[in-house]
Structure 1
């Protein structure tokens, strides 16, 4: 599954995105028959779309109810989520945990499902926390997660005798060697606006630690802080080893370059390279944790976004929706999905790992061993700040990595305005 695009129209005041008829057509319609639940889906890629349908088919067979799926491509869904929820949304829709859920809960666009959550089993306290709004109520049903790391081909590393680096200096040295060997070291595409956030987050987490990262995302730290400048300085030192023209390249194209052996590594989430590799080549895909920068923080943090389901405030069939969400929280529902999609990891402790690929097993170990788990920049901060400030800022940095002071001054000015307005 593609990692989401940001909601460029997240803030109502932005008013920059026109709701396309495609998304406007989604929704439960007037009334409800009690037997049909409508679902707004952003799973337009073939693999997750098929996997979700397997889970929905199993529910329909078990319950005798009908799930009407309204699928919209990723970018369209994310870019218009705010207007979608204020219009005629579906009963249930796919979205993200943490801040991205809390944002819409605070706006009164979600239905409290604490009553449903009270019967859930197999979810950790950490998962419950990521499903809980600032008001202490639950709004989100977690379904799966996937870690971000540095992906590569096993065979390519074996061919050239490369060793997975553990430190930033080793990472840089490996990139230099790849360049000498005729490879573009790091696959990179940021046309969609969000992929570069993964690299920023990891450099920040490794250089400054999770607490500073979380505080920066919450608007409590200055972007002009020398710690943030260090992040961009370190990233700038890596730019000569990234694919050129990243702002004109999609993440899919970057993933394809890795599959085609044109590039040596890529900072991705688990689903991204997996969907660009033929099934026969999945066993050749591997990853290593983003390298250590400051030994005080080591590699103790992992980006592992959680995806799942929510009920819209305007749901027409709330009883049917609650019944559906109860099913989606079961190990059986996760097993039905993961049987067709090896690019994610189930969150319910009762979900079966018997059919996990080596990469899924390695992902589960990576996350289980982390001291801190972040949700990705666009989920850990305000959506409007991520979309209206950080997307253009990071794309500007990619084009002009030498004016770091000017860039950070601009980010800080805009941050103060956005976060002050929210207080």
Structure 2
């Protein structure tokens, strides 16, 4: 598997860049490659051209977005789109320089903290007026995730996918299991699974990021959405008793987790669910990649159960991918026209014809063509009061890669050492969020 950024849609491996360039040219959409900061040169002021910074570098999603942009060209009244594609991780590594140079008119990025980070620096275009036209396409939660610290919108959502507790319907029917609604019911179910000879909760932490998803679920279920996002933004103290409660709750669940998680990747954990050796797995819906096509309809999920009735299950982790506009696009009129189009159901459903691992963000998108898992994912996301992105998207990248990753690993190694773990995380947060 190609390594992908935690919290983002997993991307399958594909062939040579030259082959992709040929395919894109054959589709009638130009593709550029090379160093992102050098190639993002805008449209040169050509009123008939829009440039598009693309981070979907693997074949399936790249073909999917190409099809959506080709459809835009067909109904745009003469506008053409030039795609500047960069390898997914390099795109993220270079985006700061890219935005400070000559970025493309429209460019791919992520909602939430990562969007706000650049909007707050004045490096991206204000889309508030556009949202006056497209706001009806989205839920309040998606608008919230597209809004920066100044209360203005700088992002247009395109696709997303949920995290939840996944299971095999046939196994649960055979064993008579029911979806738990509360933490106590989850513990009771896990206890029963253990007595039935199953690993209750598949778990993997070799890649460093999967455990972040468990922390997220516990934190916003216990402390609510606002505390969660404020903590990750450096506005709350990691040594706060509320954070301690999160780890104490996790400690209660750890005996039901798959052992030796630090030596296992998420694919192996997903395979244990597929093989009916594990009863549940908390992960993103991309875990379906590890299921044969004939078994994918046997996969189901439920949102992480309620812990604190004050917050219920009103928050869903559903990383949102979408698009921003350059601060000074060479073709601002064309950029806004393209972004308005991308907010509609048509291009999102065109995209999903090639990539079924995600769902459309447009709330009126026709879901009749969705598979069963997509239909449920769309419903869960639509009904959420709040949508989070994933720890490493909702906080400073340096904090995520060092303090959060190392802290969670240390906790898993020694859950009795949580006070020391949280002190270390708090100290690092103070240095990062000055």
TM-score (norm. length: structure 2): 0.82
Deviations 1:234-265 (A, max 9, x none): 21232233334444544344334433434332
Would the alpha carbon gap of residues 166 and 385 (structure 1) be closer, same or farther in structure 2, given more than 3 Å must change?
same
* Aligned partner of 1:355 among 365, 369, 372: 369
Q: Structure 2 residue aligned with 1:203, among 218, 240, 246?
A: 218
1:116 corresponds to 2:130 = yes
Is residue 184–residue 263 contact of structure 1 (8 Å, CA) maintained in 2? yes
Contact residue 391 and residue 400 of structure 2 kept, 8 A: yes
- Structure 1 36/385 Cα, relative in aligned 2: closer, same or farther at 3 Å? same
Q: What does residue 302 of structure 2 align with?
A: 288
**Corresponding residue number in structure 2 for 1:48:** 61
Contact 1:30 1:316 (C-alpha < 8 Å) held by counterparts:
yes
Give, in angstroms, the shift of residue 102 of structure 1: 0.9
1:178 corresponds to: 193
Structure 1 residue 342 corresponds to structure 2 residue 356: yes
2:171 paired residue number: 156
- Contact 1:47–1:275 (Cα < 8 Å) also in 2: no
Aligned to 1:225: 240
- 1:41–1:178 distance in 2 versus 1, CA, 3 Å: farther
Counterpart pick for 2:52 among 39, 42, 53: 39
3-state secondary structure, aligned to 2:114: helix
**2: distance between equivalents of 1:196 and 1:75?**
21
Aligned residue among 415, 418, 421 for 2:429: 415
* Aligned equivalent of 1:379: 393
Within the alignment, does 1:107 sit opposite 2:107 as a pair? no
- CA offset at residue 141 of structure 1? 0.8
- 1:254-287 CA-to-partner distances (Å, cap 9, x unmatched) read 33443343433211223x1233333332211100
Whether contact under 8 Å (2:141, 2:387) holds in the other structure is: no
Q: Tell me if 1:59 matches 2:60.
A: no
Structure 2 partner of 1:5: 6
Of residues 266, 290, 295, the one that matches 1:251 is: 266
**Cα RMSD, aligned residues only:** 3.1
Structure 2 gaps, min length 5: 9-33
Q: Give the deviation of 1:402 after TM superposition.
A: 2.8
Cα offset for 1:57? 2.2
Cα distance change, pair 41–185 in 1 and its aligned pair in 2 (3 A): farther
Q: Secondary structure, in 3 states, of the residue corresponding to 1:214? A: helix
Shift of 1:139: 1.4
Range with greater deviation from structure 2 (243-252 or 139-148): 243-252
Please give the secondary structure, in 2, of the residue aligned with 1:264. Answer: strand
CA distance in 1, matches of 2:253, 2:68: 42
Tell me, in whole angstroms, the C-alpha distance in 2 between the residues paired with 1:84 and 1:196: 31
Moved more, 146-155 or 385-394: 385-394
Contact kept in structure 1, 2:43 and 2:49, CA below 8 Å:
no
Distance 1:165 1:357, change over 3 A: same
Distance in 1 (CA, whole Å) between partners of 2:300 and 2:36 is 36
- Answer whether contact 1:6 1:193 (CA < 8 A) is retained: no
Note the residue ranges of structure 1 that are not aligned, 5 or more in a row: 8-20
User: Does residue 128 in structure 1 map to residue 174 in structure 2?
Assistant: no
SS of aligned partner of 2:355: coil
Alpha-carbon distance, 1:189 to partner: 3.0
